[in-house]
């Protein structure tokens, strides 16, 4: 699948399927999701075999440890993928929900009703579970989907897609409701981005290059799932033991994901007390520290010098930038300039400073005294997620079933005309 004609045909088929899909009952959709979950587990051997091809290529191409972690499928991760589909089946169907009812003085009754968006294109990199998560969420919310994964996970994605498309055979959901663009060149994406007649929404998940390309070329509405340059700011009124636990968790527990901390900001008032033990702990866990001059004055050895670019870098690895800031304002300004509007935390016992932080930092998810790692559809209680939107429109933060819907207004009259 790669030529312009084939991609247009794919989008047309998806559009047609989306009309059919919008009329499929919740029960039928859930049946399909459960079948998909079963089929993934039943074919886990095949999946891991195909995944191995990607892992071998990753080793050849010397991908980072974090990247290879993201790419790997084992029995547990396949079970988790299946579980995500089952969880999606158990979630409330958002389609048809009456969001608002308005009665007007002239007798008009207005209902705001949730509907599917239509056809959604998702362009992503690396993690193969995204393929099944997104198919499940799009189907449940009544949308057709066109997926385009990264070349690193090509074999894994094709295998997952093949299994799930087969699951649709003989079901109420048309097979054309799901598509995988398996071409590895960017030209295919470029063609897709021009098909605003058939595709209603593009969700790019990935790094700067991908997001830039999509923002520049798309004629279709885009909700960006951009990198996570997440910060934890240890305030001068922080409980330092709590701060250590939060920072350690935010950096070390799973460094290869977008809600992991990339920069630790430490208030000047507690830097001398906080940094030595914290940095020792992080280094013990294998974290490379890149510090500002003040950090390097406090920790005399073993800390690399951070360069300007480090403040804007999503490492997705065991590397951490550390900066000592003068005060709350210094932290807020740093985050608003260098952050990616994803997830940022303050550790403090001072409620006034906490509220000021929440009000002034322009990010999707802001934490007081908790790890940034909680930015996640599951952790927020939404069930699964398509990803984390770093955009402000339509969906911000974890994007789940509701965010995959739109609405229309149904207006019931008895002959009303406008005066």
**Binding region for a second copy (CB under 8 A):** 23, 102, 104, 108, 110, 117-118, 196, 200-201, 215-216, 219, 221-223, 239, 242, 245-246, 248-250, 253-254, 358-359, 362-371, 373-374, 379-381, 391-394, 396-398, 406-418
> Min. distance of Cβ 154 from a second copy in angstroms?
29
> Min. distance of Cβ 68 from a second copy in angstroms?
21
Angle of helix 129-140 versus helix 26-42 axis, rounded to 10 = 160
Nearer to a second copy among residue 57 and residue 240 (C-beta): 240
Nearer to a second copy among residue 42 and residue 411 (C-beta): 411
Reported in sequence order, the residue ranges of 84-243 that DSSP labels E, i.e. its strands, are 98-103, 109-116, 119-124, 144-148, 178-180, 201-205, 230-234
Nearer to a second copy among residue 8 and residue 41 (C-beta): 8
Distance CA 197, CA 263 (A): 42
Closest by CA to 331, choosing from 345, 352, 310, is: 345
Distance CA 244, CA 319 (A): 16
Burial 8-34 (b: 16+ CB within 10 A, else e): bebbebbbbbbeebbebeeeebbbbbb
Would you call 388 helix, strand, or coil by DSSP? strand
> Min. distance of Cβ 54 from a second copy in angstroms?
26
Nearer to a second copy among residue 1 and residue 102 (C-beta): 102
Nearer to a second copy among residue 49 and residue 197 (C-beta): 197
> Min. distance of Cβ 373 from a second copy in angstroms?
4
Closest by CA to 295, choosing from 313, 283, 312, is: 283
> Min. distance of Cβ 301 from a second copy in angstroms?
29
Q: Which two tokens stand for residue 7?
A: 């991609």
Q: Which two tokens stand for residue 342?
A: 């994803």
> Min. distance of Cβ 408 from a second copy in angstroms?
6
Output DSSP code: residue 115.
E
Nearer to a second copy among residue 37 and residue 195 (C-beta): 195
């Amino acid at each position: 699948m790669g030529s312009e004609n084939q991609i247009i045909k794919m989008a047309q088929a998806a559009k047609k399927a989306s009309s059919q899909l919008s009329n499929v009952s919740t029960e039928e959709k859930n049946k399909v999701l459960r079948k998909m979950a079963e089929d993934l587990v039943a074919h886990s051997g095949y999946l891991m075999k195909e995944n191995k091809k990607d892992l071998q290529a990753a080793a050849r191409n010397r991908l980072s440890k974090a990247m290879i972690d993201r790419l790997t499928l084992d029995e547990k991760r396949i079970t988790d993928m299946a579980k995500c589909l089952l969880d999606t089946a158990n979630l409330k169907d958002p389609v048809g929900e009456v969001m608002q009812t308005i009665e007007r003085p002239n007798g008009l009754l207005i209902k705001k009703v949730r509907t599917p968006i239509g056809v959604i294109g998702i362009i992503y990199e690396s993690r193969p579970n995204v393929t099944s998560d997104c198919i499940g969420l799009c189907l449940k919310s009544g949308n057709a989907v066109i997926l385009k994964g990264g070349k690193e996970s090509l074999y894994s994605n094709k295998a997952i897609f093949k299994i799930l498309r087969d699951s649709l055979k003989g079901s109420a959901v048309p097979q054309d409701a799901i598509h995988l663009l398996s071409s590895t060149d960017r030209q295919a994406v470029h063609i897709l981005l021009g098909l605003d007649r058939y595709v209603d929404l593009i969700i790019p998940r990935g790094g700067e290059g991908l997001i830039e390309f999509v923002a520049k070329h798309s004629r279709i509405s885009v909700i960006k799932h951009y990198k996570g340059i997440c910060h934890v700011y240890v305030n001068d009124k922080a409980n330092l033991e709590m701060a250590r636990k939060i920072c350690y968790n935010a950096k070390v527990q799973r460094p290869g994901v977008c809600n992991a901390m990339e920069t630790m900001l430490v208030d000047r008032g507690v830097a001398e007390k906080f940094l030595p033990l914290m940095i020792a702990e992080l280094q013990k866990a294998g974290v490379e520290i890149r510090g500002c001059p003040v950090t390097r004055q406090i920790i005399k050895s073993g800390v690399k010098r951070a360069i300007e670019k480090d403040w804007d870098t999503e490492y997705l690895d065991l590397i951490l930038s550390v900066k000592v800031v003068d005060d709350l304002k210094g932290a807020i300004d740093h985050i608003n300039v260098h952050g990616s509007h994803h997830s940022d935390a303050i550790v403090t016992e001072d409620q006034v400073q906490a509220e000021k932080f929440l009000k002034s930092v322009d990010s999707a998810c802001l934490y007081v005294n908790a790890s940034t790692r909680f930015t996640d559809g599951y952790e927020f209680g939404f069930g699964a997620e398509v990803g984390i939107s770093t955009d402000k429109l339509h969906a911000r933060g974890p994007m789940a079933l509701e965010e995959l819907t739109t609405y229309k207004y149904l207006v019931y009259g008895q002959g009303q005309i406008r005066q």
